[in-house]
């Protein structure tokens, strides 16, 4: 008895979903073999070319430790990606490690390094560059100095030069390499003394380009003899300048030429200073140890605003978290009732402030709270300096932060409330507990188990909430102690002002020191809070 062969099912085509899921695998497979090797070699070639360029720069600046680290890292990357099997895990680890070093470790190390220097406006150069800068700044017009009619011009190569006509009638072309005499007839001068034409081979700068040369002309000098030079004064005049200081390399000091007894020596803090404390500018960047940190303790001009700002920062962060959590929890409990009409509509409306970008909301609130034309004062028929009175500005900052933050805690509390077993609440009510007792003894402790870490994270965020301060009040209004720290400045906005608006312009080193303190303050508070919140875990 013979049996018929079972029919072979026809092959089926994979569904669209399966094909879509296999697309990443197919893309990965397409880069294997010769194609993958070619892409790998090209990318490694680009990386090595970039490393070679960086090596030349580092060698030119004599940064030998950095150069050694660069060479070692480049060779290690080449070995990892050219090997076949043993280094497969490292191939995935290397990119993340590079980004971690570039965007986390390097900025932290740089901040720490800056905090122990005097890096600030007037102290950003090397010592050699500062010496040349002091010599340039010491140039002054001597009693018998020559005055020149001047006109900026460009040579055949487009380089900026100065066409000069001296008081005695001499005509010259001045470059940053020196002074070159030209025939008198090659330069035409108008009756009022202005230069009307340039010598052959040069073209006068005119029109809008002329007025864009202010900064370039301010730093332009034409060396003449010794350390003397010619410097532009405006757009149509130049004067002879002679040095008033002489640098003595043996003593590493500057000496006044007209008064050799006055000497400016290296004060060990990045400046040449006289015995009476007068400092020459510019200075240079150098290490100062813990000077920036000690100034926060011993310098009253720094200590007083720092302590005031720190107290307000702590109050701002704590009050914002407290009020936002309280309001969010209250609304969550209110709307956590079955059978409530329009419940979804209410919940959606309460989330709107959280959906709008925070920066946009802050700018809108800055306009609404304006004391002259703001909508808030007009609706309330009052004249309150919401943003320009010290106390009202603090109230405004907290209220606006409450507006921005409470939807977050509303969502968190809503989810946490729904995770609490109803049996526990019902058992507490059966035992005779009232609403407040049930909330305080059952609901709140169980709620804090889930919400406590988020409260700590929110406190850390608001401790460094730069946008809420800077975009709303700019840290203002101005304080009574005449410091750069305003009434609503928190530590992070105070640090920003230290970086760009203190002393001679910016004290980056002191700002870096404050940044380090902010890190330890936030880390300490967070660590203590997490340690204390562990007691809530026993409620599980």
The CA–CA distances, whole Å, from 414 to 295, 418, 421, 457, 533 equal: 47, 6, 14, 18, 21
Distance in angstroms (rounded) separating the CA atoms of residues 306 and 502:
14
Instruction: Rounding to the nearest 10 degrees, give the CA dihedral for residues 355, 359, 362, 366.
Output: -140
CA distances from 373 to 138, 377, 470 (A): 52, 8, 20
- How sure is the predictor about 184, in pLDDT bands with cuts at 50, 70 and 90? confident
pLDDT exceeds cutoff 90 at 9:
no
pLDDT tens, position by position, 477-511:
988 777 889 999 999 999 998 888 766 678 999 99
| pLDDT at position 499 | 86
Give the pTM: 0.78
Indicate the pLDDT class of residue 20, thresholds 50, 70 and 90. low
**Could you give the percent of the chain with pLDDT greater than 70?**
92
User: What's residue 470's pLDDT?
Assistant: 93
Rounded Cα–Cα distance for residues 440 and 454 (Å): 20
Q: How confident is the model at residue 146 (pLDDT cuts 50, 70, 90)?
A: confident
pLDDT value at position 1? Answer: 45
Q: Can you give 64-83 as a three-state secondary structure string?
A: HHHHHHHHHHHHHHHHHHHC
Q: Which two tokens stand for residue 262?
A: 């006055």
Determine which of 70-74, 389-393, 450-454 has the lowest per-residue pLDDT on average: 450-454
pLDDT tens-place string over residues 85-113: 778 888 889 989 999 998 999 999 999 99
From CA 40, how far away is CA 91, in angstroms rounded? 11
Confidence label for 12 from pLDDT (cuts 50, 70 and 90): low
**Per-state percent for the chain, helix, strand, coil, to nearest 5:** 55, 10, 30
* 232 has a pLDDT exceeding 70: yes
Q: How many other C-beta atoms can be found within 10 angstroms of the C-beta atom of residue 413? A: 25
Q: What integer is the mean pLDDT of 347-355?
A: 86
pLDDT in tens, 46-62: 999 999 999 999 999 88
């Amino acid at each position: 008895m013979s049996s018929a062969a079972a029919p072979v099912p026809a092959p089926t085509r994979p569904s669209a979903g399966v094909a879509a899921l296999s697309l990443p695998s197919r893309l990965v497979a397409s880069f294997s073999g010769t194609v993958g090797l070619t892409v790998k070699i090209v990318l490694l070639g680009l990386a090595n070319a970039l490393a070679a360029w960086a090596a030349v720069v580092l060698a030119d600046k004599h940064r030998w430790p950095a150069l050694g680290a660069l060479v070692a890292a480049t060779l290690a990357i080449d070995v990892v990606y050219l090997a076949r099997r043993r280094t497969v895990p490292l191939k995935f680890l290397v990119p993340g490690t590079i980004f971690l070093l570039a965007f986390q470790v390097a900025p932290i190390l740089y901040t720490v390094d800056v905090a122990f220097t005097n890096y600030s406006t007037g102290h950003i150069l090397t010592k050699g560059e500062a010496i040349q800068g002091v010599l340039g700044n010491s140039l002054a017009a001597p009693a018998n100095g020559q005055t020149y009619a001047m006109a900026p011009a460009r040579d055949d190569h487009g380089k900026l030069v100065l066409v000069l006509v001296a008081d005695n009638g001499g005509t010259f072309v001045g470059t940053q390499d020196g002074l070159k005499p030209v025939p008198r007839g090659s330069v035409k001068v108008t009756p009022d003394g202005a230069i009307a034409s340039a010598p052959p081979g040069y073209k006068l700068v005119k029109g809008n380009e002329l007025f864009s040369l202010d900064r370039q002309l301010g730093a332009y000098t034409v060396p003449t003899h010794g350390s003397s030079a010619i410097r532009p004064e405006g757009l149509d005049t130049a004067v002879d300048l002679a040095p008033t200081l002489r640098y003595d390399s043996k003593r590493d000091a500057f000496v006044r030429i007209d008064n050799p007894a006055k000497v400016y020596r290296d004060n060990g803090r990045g400046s040449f200073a006289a015995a009476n404390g007068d400092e020459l500018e510019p200075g240079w960047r150098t290490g100062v140890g813990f000077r920036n940190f000690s100034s926060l303790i011993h310098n009253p001009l720094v200590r007083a605003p720092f302590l005031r700002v720190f107290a307000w920062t702590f109050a701002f962060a704590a009050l914002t978290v407290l009020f936002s959590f309280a309001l969010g929890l209250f609304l969550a409990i209110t709307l956590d009732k079955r059978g409530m009409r329009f419940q979804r509509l209410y919940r959606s409306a309460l989330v709107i402030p959280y959906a709008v970008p925070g920066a946009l909301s802050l700018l809108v609130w800055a306009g609404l709270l304006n004391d002259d034309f703001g909508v808030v004062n007009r609706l309330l028929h009052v004249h309150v300096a919401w943003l320009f009175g010290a106390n009202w500005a603090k109230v405004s900052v907290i209220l606006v932060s409450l507006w921005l933050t409470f939807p977050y805690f509303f969502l968190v509390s809503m989810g946490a409330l729904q995770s609490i077993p109803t049996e526990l609440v019902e058992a507490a009510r059966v035992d005779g507990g009232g609403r407040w007792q049930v909330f305080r003894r059952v609901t709140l402790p169980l709620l804090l188990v889930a919400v406590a870490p988020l409260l700590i994270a929110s406190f850390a965020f608001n401790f460094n909430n730069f946008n809420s301060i800077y975009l709303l009040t700019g840290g203002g209004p101005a304080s009574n102690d005449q410091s750069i720290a305003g009434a609503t400045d928190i530590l992070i906005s105070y640090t920003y002002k230290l970086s760009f608006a203190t002393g001679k312009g910016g004290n980056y080193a002191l700002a870096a020191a404050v940044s380090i303190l902010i890190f330890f303050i936030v880390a300490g508070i967070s660590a203590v809070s997490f340690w204390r919140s562990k007691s809530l875990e026993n409620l599980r």
